[in-house]
Amino acid sequence: MKMEGIITPVITPFHRDQQQSINYEALKQLIDHLIDHGVKGIFILGSNGEFHVIDEDEKIELAAKTVKIVAKRVPVYAGTGACSTKATIRLSKKMEEIGVDALSVITPYFIKPTDDDLYYHYRSIAESVHLPIMLYNIPKTTGCPLSPALVSRLADIDQIVGIKDSSGDPATLEAFAKISKEKEIQLLVGSDSKISYAYSLGASGAVAGTSNVIVDTVVGLDRALRNKETEKAECLQKDIDILRSVLKLGPVPSVMKRAVELAGIAPAGPARYPVQELSEEDDRKILQALHYYF
């Protein structure tokens, strides 16, 4: 499977009800908007999708609804990573039954497994399903990095075909890029500020959270880089920083969700508790950033 272009790790819209239930009408609105504007993949249950606060039965329903909404227009990626190998395998098998196209498996979090532990973890998951798997490296959040040496070993497993690096570290990106050239594993960048740099190293695509909001800017950057339009790409890469500058106003993905709402894209709703809604002052700052694009 070719993992390429802009893949959006979609936010999970919630109603503003007591249960903060999933708003599937808003999800369809967002997904249709993204596909119409040129994204090459829809990635559910990532960090921006709040996988960490969504129950397993909700994840299964969300995946089934997403597969139906997308209707084969682009590939559907589903995050299935958990702290335990058993839980990850269980959810991965469910996702395969539902009909997603690929899995994204984040490292375990809270615990600090060894490279051998992680190798066993990923090999066991790969042996349990027939779907392509994308490794997901985001050590600032999980506290559990994927080392280049481990990724080189994992690249020899047939089902493991890609790695998403959200470390934000140029040296890590360079190491993974070298492995992707030596072995059959595709590199995707998950740090939106590093898209141009990653492409220069040979990355095939970006899992770009900001594309939830500024899809034309991010898809435009991808096209400019592929067409060798250097000056245009430089401008578009810098343009992403306007939105990124306000994302620190609240925990992930509260600001992204509010930006989706304030931009009039879809009623994204709040982040799930314990994360609270943003203030009116925060809204003003987000709107000020959005005015740069819309």
Q: What is d(CA 224, CA 63) in angstroms, rounded to the nearest whole number?
A: 32
Residue 151 forms part of a structural domain: yes
Q: What is the pLDDT of residue 242?
A: 98
The predicted-structure confidence for 215-255, as pLDDT tens digits, reads as follows: 999 999 999 999 999 999 999 999 999 999 999 999 999 99
Total number of domains in the chain: 1
The predicted-structure confidence for 246-283, as pLDDT tens digits, reads as follows: 999 999 999 999 999 999 999 999 999 999 999 999 99
Give the residue numbers marked as catalytic. 136, 164
Residue 277 forms part of a structural domain: no
Residue 276 forms part of a structural domain: no
Looking up residue 15, the CATH number of its domain turns out to be: 3.20.20.70
Residue 112 forms part of a structural domain: yes
Q: What is the pLDDT of residue 82?
A: 97
pTM, entire model: 0.97
Q: What is the mean pLDDT of residues 80-101?
A: 98
Q: What is the mean pLDDT of residues 65-94?
A: 98
The predicted-structure confidence for 137-168, as pLDDT tens digits, reads as follows: 999 999 999 999 999 999 999 999 999 999 99
Where does the chain show beta strands of DSSP type E?
Answer: 5-9, 41-44, 76-79, 102-106, 133-137, 160-165, 186-189, 205-207
Q: 215-226 and 230-244 are packed helices; what angle lies between their axes, rounded to 10 degrees?
A: 150
Residue 290 forms part of a structural domain: no
Residue 181 forms part of a structural domain: yes
Q: What is d(CA 117, CA 51) in angstroms, rounded to the nearest whole number?
A: 23
Residue 142 forms part of a structural domain: yes
Residue 288 forms part of a structural domain: no
Kindly report the backbone phi and psi dihedral angles of residue 143, in degrees, each rounded to the nearest multiple of 5, phi listed first.
70, 15
Q: What is the pLDDT of residue 34?
A: 98
Q: What is the mean pLDDT of residues 46-71?
A: 98
For residue 52, give its domain range.
5-229
Contacts of 100 by beta carbon, 8 Å cutoff, 6+ apart: 63, 66, 67, 76, 77, 78, 131
Q: What is the pLDDT of residue 211?
A: 98
Model confidence band, residue 67 (pLDDT cutoffs 50, 70, 90): very high
Q: What is the mean pLDDT of residues 94-117?
A: 97
